[in-house]
Amino acid sequence: MLHKELWNKTHSHLQMLMKEEISSMREILANMHQEELILMINDRACLVQIMHERSQLLGNLKDLRLERLNTTEKLKKLAQIDNEGASLETILALDSVYACETFSLRDQMLALVERMNLQHSRNTLLADYPPHRWNVMGQFNKGQVAVAHRTKKRVSIVIDPEDVEM
């Protein structure tokens, strides 16, 4: 019975972490949407601020992801006590109380990864579009493609969907 209680507690903790991670990913996606708008109006000061905010959000996401992965490993170890060699997906599928919500949370995370990667691609295209480039001196470069360079690197995110897998 103690094993079942530990399993339920660990699984509940996993779901809580997944919900927090989804919330953090939504904040990052919103930040990326802001970046798109800022790139469209060419506001360099706001771009620096938004990238600083994203850096903090990414740090939070990294911490949540590591804690989720550790919790997932705990579940795998607990599952091996009763069912040697079974995958976590198989074990979770047997636990109908938690499985449906956990798989739904995983699907939300995968959808958010896709949307974030799409937004990243859009922002990269916008940043590389000639009217949005900055020359070496930091002045707005109006249409001169040949010597355009940004002086500050952008912080961005590309997430591999496999990193979201449990």
Residue 36 — left, alpha, or beta (φ > 0 → left; ψ -120 to 50 → alpha)?
A: alpha
* Residues 90, 11: Cα–Cα separation, whole Å: 14
**Average pLDDT of the chain, as a whole number:** 80
Q: Give the range of the structural domain holding residue 141, as residue numbers without chain letter.
A: 2-163
Tokens of 108: 């939300």
| Selected residue with higher pLDDT from 160 and 142 | 160
- DSSP E strand boundaries for 4-102: none
Q: How many domains does the chain have?
A: 1
- Could you report the per-residue pLDDT of 17-45, keeping only the tens digit for each? 999 999 999 999 999 999 999 999 988 89
Would you place residue 134 in the very low, low, confident or very high pLDDT band (cuts 50, 70, 90)?
Answer: low
Q: Say yes or no to pLDDT of 148 above 60.
A: no
The Cα-based distances of 46 to 17, 40, 113, 132, 155 in angstroms read 31, 12, 25, 14, 13
pTM for the whole structure: 0.74
* Residues 139, 125: Cα–Cα separation, whole Å: 20
Q: Say yes or no to pLDDT of 159 above 80.
A: no
